[in-house]
Chains A and B, each alone.
Chain A
Amino acid sequence: GAGVSQSPSNKVTEKGKDVELRCDPISGHTALYWYRQRLGQGLEFLIYFQGNSAPDKSGLPSDRFSAERTGESVSTLTIQRTQQEDSAVYLCASSSHMPNTEAFFGQGTRLTVV
């Protein structure tokens, strides 16, 4: 596609339910990032995929959060047993591996846990 696509754009879920967020990166981009942005706050790093290397999961806030990526394509971020503090915009970005290239961001998924 022309850019990074995320779905759904908005998700309202009940506390305790599981949610799955999807990111379609730009074709050919080996690097994929997930960030969380709470209202009025900065970007919190969650997880980073780079090619076939083991993902950097150091930013995942708890074991309720997990993410997968199939090869260099789609990634899904799963949040189990959602809590109200999980409410945020979840942003995905992709880039090529070259160190000075731009990371292109999707529009984000706004998750609201009620």
Chain B
Amino acid sequence: GEDVEQSLFLSVREGDSSVINCTYTDSSSTYLYWYKQEPGAGLQLLTYIFSNMDMKQDQRLTVLLNKKDKHLSLRIADTQTGDSAIYFCAETWDGATNKLIFGTGTLLAVQP
């Protein structure tokens, strides 16, 4: 089945690290993604990780993947007020078609 879950809300202080978590159900997922949606804007891809990796770092972003527990996380170092947005994890479900399934989204609020 296809089910991707996230916590709904996270509040952090500016300069702290943020960790946004995601769990998914399809063990055959090939790629897992993090998208960002700023207020009034469309979604933009932040980063992705291939399922045979367990970590990927991209500047302030670190993605951790625990395949055994089907758990994906996004860590944002030195969180800034401009990072305030909704963050969606997504997986490609059913490798034959690469259908993209999104999580419920986590609203990140950064307090100055």
User: A residues within 8 Å of B by Cβ?
Assistant: 4, 31, 33, 35, 41-43, 45, 48, 50, 53, 56, 91, 93, 95, 97, 99-100, 102-103, 105-108
Could you tell me the dominant secondary structure of chain B's interface residues?
A: strand
- Counted as pairs of residues, one from A and one from B, with CB atoms less than 8 Å apart, the total is 57
What are the residues of chain B within 8 A of A97 when measuring CB–CB?
Answer: 98
Q: Given A45-B101, A48-B99, list of 17 further CB < 8 A pairs?
A: A33-B99, A33-B100, A35-B102, A41-B105, A42-B6, A42-B102, A43-B43, A45-B100, A56-B97, A93-B100, A99-B30, A99-B92, A100-B48, A100-B50, A105-B42, A105-B43, A105-B44
Interchain CB contact under 8 A, A102 and B88: no
Query: B8 → chain A, closest Cβ, in Å?
Result: 9
What are the residues of chain B within 8 A of A56 when measuring CB–CB?
Answer: 97, 99
Interchain CB contact under 8 A, B104 and A41: yes
Let me know if B95 is at the binding interface, CB within 8 A.
yes
Interchain CB contact under 8 A, A43 and B97: no
What are the residues of chain A within 8 A of B42 when measuring CB–CB?
Answer: 4, 91, 105-108
Query: A96 → chain B, closest Cβ, in Å?
Result: 10
Interchain CB contact under 8 A, A99 and B102: no
Contact digits for B87-112, partner A, Cβ 8 Å, 1 yes 0 no = 01000100101111111110000000
Distance A43 CA – B33 CA, assembled complex (angstroms): 14
Given known A-B contacts A50-B98, A91-B42, A99-B98, A42 and B104 have beta carbons under 8 A apart = yes
Cβ contacts A to B, 30 pairs, < 8 Å: A4-B42, A31-B98, A33-B100, A35-B102, A42-B6, A42-B88, A42-B103, A42-B104, A42-B105, A43-B88, A43-B102, A43-B105, A45-B101, A48-B97, A48-B100, A53-B97, A56-B97, A56-B99, A91-B43, A93-B43, A97-B98, A99-B31, A99-B92, A99-B95, A100-B31, A100-B48, A102-B45, A102-B48, A107-B41, A107-B42
